[in-house]
Structure 1
C-alpha cells in the first residue's frame, strides 16, 4: 500500500501479537488522496510502529512531556482538539484504521500540533513490551467497540487483564478516562476499574461529562439513538 518506511505496516508486531488480549481488529479501509499524502509525508516523522521494541517517550516527543496514551481515536478530530487545548501534554494515539491515521496526521500538520504521535498496531504489544513503568500521565479509551453479543464480550478491551497491564505504566496521579454509550459495557468498565488495585474512582460512580472531552462522531451517533453516554474517571494512587 505504501513504500517501505513511508506508511504504517500491516503487521508491525508479527508473532508478538500471539496473546489472549487483543486491542483491535485491523481495518484498512478506503483512504483518500489527502490522507494518503499526509501518511507519506508525515509517517516517518510522527508515526510509530508497535513492533515490541522499547519506546523512549522523551525521545519520541523531543523532550520530557507528560504523555497520555489514547487507544482508538477514530478519525482523530477529538484527539486533535484535545492536543491543541493542551500543548504541554504529548498524546500517543493508537489505532489501526489507516484513513483515521492519515486524517489525524493531516489535522496535526494543518493545526501546527507538535504534541501528537500516531501509533499503528496492537496497543497490548505497546503496554506489554514497549513502555517503562510509571511512564504515562494518563490513558484515554473513548467509545471502544462494545461487542454487544454475549459470546463476544471477551473481546472487549476493558477487562481485568488489560487493566493489569496498564496500571504499572501509570505514574501516581495519572488519570484513566473511559467513555461509552453502551450501558452494559459502562457497567463492566465501572466494575473492572473499581476492582483494580492502584486505581481509585475520582467520582462516586460515573463521572459528569468533562468539558475538556470533545464530542466525538460516535457520541453523536449514540445520542441520536437515545443512548446514555457514561464517562469514567479513575486516578492512579
Structure 2
C-alpha cells in the first residue's frame, strides 16, 4: 500500500468493509441496520449492554504499527463513555461506540466514541470527553487514543469523519490524524490478531453505534 498515517508505505490491509457497496454484508453476528439510505452493522437486539465482535488475524505477519479508520452512526442515544457498570472494563461494554484491540488478553489500540449530543447537554454528562464543559473522562487504558463525535440526533451524520461538527466539538473534530488512527509500537513487534467490537452499555432499543465502513492496516 501507499503512504498511510504519515508513515510511508509497506502496509498490509487486514480488514475492510464498505456497506455502501450493496454486495457487501455485515460480519457474522452483527445486525444489519437499513434506514435513510444507510446500511450499517451493529449489535444484535438485546435488552442490556453488550458488544459484538469480529477478529482479523495477522496471518503470521509481524507488525509494529497499526493504521485505520472507522465510520459509523449514532443510533438513538449513545453517550460515549458515561459512567456505566463496566466503565473500567476493557473486556466489556465500556463505550458506546467502537473498541479496537489486539491480542488476548486484549490490549487497547483505539476507541471511537459515539454520542447523540453535539451541543452541551445534561450538564455535560452525555458529551464527548473532548467537548469543553463535558464531565466525561476517558478511561486510563484509553488515554488520548480515541476519537469522539456527536450526531445531534441525526442518523445520517457520519461519525468519526471530522465533518459536520458543531462549535462545541471543535477539539474533537480537530484531533490529530482524524479520521485515521495510528499506533506505532517502535521496536516492539507482534503477530497479534486485531479485534473490532461495536459496544454500548444499554439495550439496543436505547442506543447503538453501528459501523458502515472500516479499513485497518498493519506493517
- TM score, norm. by length of structure 1: 0.29
Higher normalized helix content (fraction of residues): 1
Greater relative contact order structure (CA < 8 Å, 6+ sep): 2
Structure having the larger proportion of residues in strand = 2
